[in-house]
């Protein structure tokens, strides 16, 4: 009973305090690298895009950014690496986050609080997951990751973003907007 009386206040404090602690400093870009053919990953990227009105997260497919990932010490997760396509990778201010830590970092960057009270409650519950030991969080992450194609399917090739969404990708070239078709 005593453990429960300590756990509840700790969870409440974590739910309020931790989301702010997971956010990068103002002006720090967040790069989210994902498996470009995975439908689950594609859905997550669309969710992040919709929930990041300030455009703080930029996206890149693991298949297309091997050199950039290698420069930041995360080349093993790029296509052809030792742990190829096994996790989302988040880079913030030169720091690399993978698996469940990467997902929680991304959720912290999204608009806070989310618009609907139920979404705010969900976020607070997710923040408490940061207290779950990393090996256990990552075990669950890897279990889902191993079966993601079977459960959610995959595409033949990486997504081709368009419109404003395209501007959020690392490979975006602003000169494309100057093409006569956009004038």
Least confident of 58-67, 74-83, 101-110, 171-180: 171-180
Predicted pLDDT at 173: 82
Q: Is the pLDDT of residue 66 over 90?
A: yes
DSSP type of residue 27:
T
What size, in residues, is the chain?
A: 183
Predicted pLDDT at 19: 63
Cβ contact 95:111 at 8 Å:
no
Distances (CA, A) of 102 to 24, 109, 125, 152: 12, 11, 17, 20
Q: Is the pLDDT of residue 114 over 70?
A: no
DSSP type of residue 26:
T
Alpha-carbon gap, residue 82 to 36, rounded angstroms: 18
Q: Is the dihedral of CA 102, 41, 28, 128 positive or negative?
A: negative
Q: Which residue has the higher pLDDT, 88 or 18?
A: 88
Q: What is the pTM of this model?
A: 0.82
Kind of pairing between the strands at 89-92 and 30-34 = antiparallel
Q: What is the pLDDT of residues 1-26, one digit of tens each?
A: 565 455 555 555 555 555 667 788 88
């Amino acid at each position: 009973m005593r453990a429960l009386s300590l756990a509840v206040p700790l969870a409440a404090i974590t739910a309020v305090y931790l989301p702010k602690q997971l956010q990068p400093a103002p002006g720090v870009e967040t790069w989210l690298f994902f498996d470009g053919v995975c439908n689950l990953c594609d859905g997550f990227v669309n969710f992040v895009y919709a929930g990041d009105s300030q455009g703080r997260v930029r996206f890149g497919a693991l298949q297309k950014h091997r050199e950039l990932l290698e420069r930041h010490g995360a080349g093993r997760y790029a296509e052809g690496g030792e742990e190829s396509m096994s996790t989302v990778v988040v880079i913030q201010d030169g720091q690399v986050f993978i698996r469940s830590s990467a997902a929680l970092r991304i959720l912290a960057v999204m608009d806070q609080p989310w618009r609907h009270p139920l979404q705010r409650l969900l976020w607070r519950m997710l923040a408490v997951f940061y207290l779950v030991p990393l090996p256990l969080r990552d075990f669950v992450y890897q279990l889902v990751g191993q079966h993601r194609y079977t459960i959610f399917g995959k595409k033949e090739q990486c997504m081709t973003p368009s419109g404003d969404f395209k501007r959020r990708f690392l490979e975006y070239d602003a000169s494309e907007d100057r093409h006569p078709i956009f004038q």
